[in-house]
């Protein structure tokens, strides 16, 4: 039993204080956290000044959080933690569409629209027909699948970032598949945009010489009874930021085709089939 704290016995001194009655998972997590945190502190020889800077950074990160803004999730995103948690928790069988980050701009309860409807309500941007099928692992269509979609507008902002400027529910909608599993809707060919970078996380990126941009993408959340929920995006293939997404969300399999159309109702067409894994 280590009674007094020294740099050498620091981990044992802290972890020995946990009660045997504490929740076993909490014990496991805290034990590992203290081990890694102390090893990290020793490895980098953390100075008092750097410790104060870190506390100040976390304090500013907390203070900027509100119902509309979650700077801690943004921090998790730019450190690759969100994608790592997603990868660990969402392994998918071969053939199923891969997942990626949810991001902060999903809004529950978007209007349910008819197949083929337009979601870009502000009349800006290059129009694009999105279409494809929702399938199971055997390639059979899934009926009754709900496809919740959202994207930024042509200026790189989500409607919730510009209340009163963009129409409510601009570039959002939900679509429910019929027996053929098909979906289609008209949106815009999305554009790359910076994640919110006017707070401590943005400042950190700047100091690290990292840009805050995400490559252009359309967000999807697919739910269907008997299948695992899929949160994902499709990416525009020629985007300059594909290889340097600020939040590490790009997966090769999610890069979609965007075909230029002539004499058609939309300027672009992007076909993509989603394959859901069983529950």
CA–CA dist 98, 106 (Å, integer): 18
76 vs 127, beta carbon nearer ligand BEZ:
76
The two tokens of residue 55 are 């506390």
* Binding footprint of Fe ion, residue count (CB under 5 A): 1
x/- letters, 103..132, toward Fe ion (CB under 5 A):
x-----------------------------
CA distances for 142 relative to 129, 194, 273, angstroms? 21, 35, 11
Residue 212 within binding range of ligand BEZ, rule CB under 6 A:
no
- Tell me how far, at minimum, the Cβ of 152 lies from ligand BEZ, in Å: 8
Element holding 9 (H helix, E strand): none
CA–CA dist 215, 269 (Å, integer): 18
Residue 101 within binding range of ligand BEZ, rule CB under 6 A:
yes
CA–CA dist 224, 87 (Å, integer): 21
CA–CA dist 192, 197 (Å, integer): 14
- Tell me how far, at minimum, the Cβ of 109 lies from ligand BEZ, in Å: 18
Tokens 């429910």, located at residue:
176
CA–CA dist 147, 109 (Å, integer): 12
x/- letters, 162..201, toward ligand BEZ (CB under 6 A):
---------------------------------x------
Q: Under rule CB under 6 A, which residues in 39-98 are in contact with ligand BEZ?
A: 74, 77
HSE-CB for 169 with a 13 A CA cutoff: 11
Residue 215 within binding range of ligand BEZ, rule CB under 6 A:
no
Residue 103 within binding range of ligand BEZ, rule CB under 6 A:
yes
- Tell me how far, at minimum, the Cβ of 213 lies from ligand BEZ, in Å: 10
- Tell me how far, at minimum, the Cβ of 247 lies from ligand BEZ, in Å: 4
- Tell me how far, at minimum, the Cβ of 130 lies from Fe ion, in Å: 15
| Of 204, 143, 152, the residue nearest 179 (C-alpha) | 143
Residues that bind Fe ion (CB under 5 A): 103
Residues that bind ligand BEZ (CB under 6 A): 74, 77, 101, 103-105, 195, 214, 247
């Amino acid at each position: 039993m280590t009674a007094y704290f020294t740099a050498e016995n620091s981990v044992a001194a802290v972890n020995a204080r946990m009660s045997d009655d504490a929740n076993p998972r909490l014990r496991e997590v805290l034990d590992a956290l203290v081990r890694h945190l102390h090893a990290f502190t020793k490895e980098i020889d953390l100075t008092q000044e750097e410790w104060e800077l870190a506390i100040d950074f976390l304090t500013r990160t907390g203070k900027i959080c509100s119902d509309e803004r979650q700077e801690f999730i943004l921090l998790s995103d730019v450190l690759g933690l969100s994608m790592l948690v997603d990868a660990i928790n969402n392994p998918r069988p071969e053939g199923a569409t891969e997942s990626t980050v949810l991001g902060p701009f999903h809004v529950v309860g978007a209007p349910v629209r008819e197949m083929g409807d337009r979601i870009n309500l502000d009349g800006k941007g290059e129009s694009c027909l999105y279409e494809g099928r929702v399938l199971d692992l055997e390639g059979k269509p899934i009926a009754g699948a709900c496809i919740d979609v959202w994207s930024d507008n042509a200026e790189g902002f989500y409607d919730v970032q510009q209340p009163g400027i963009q129409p409510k529910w601009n570039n959002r909608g939900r679509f429910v598949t019929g027996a053929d599993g098909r979906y289609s809707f008209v949106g815009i060919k999305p554009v790359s945009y910076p994640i919110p970078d006017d707070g401590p996380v943005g400042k950190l990126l700047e100091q690290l010489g990292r840009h805050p941009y995400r490559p252009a993408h359309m967000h999807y959340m697919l739910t269907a009874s008997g299948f695992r929920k899929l949160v994902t995006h499709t990416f525009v293939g020629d985007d300059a930021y594909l290889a340097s997404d600020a939040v590490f969300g790009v997966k090769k399999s999610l890069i979609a085709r965007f075909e230029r159309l002539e004499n058609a109702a939309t300027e672009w067409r992007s076909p993509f089939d989603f394959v859901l894994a069983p529950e």
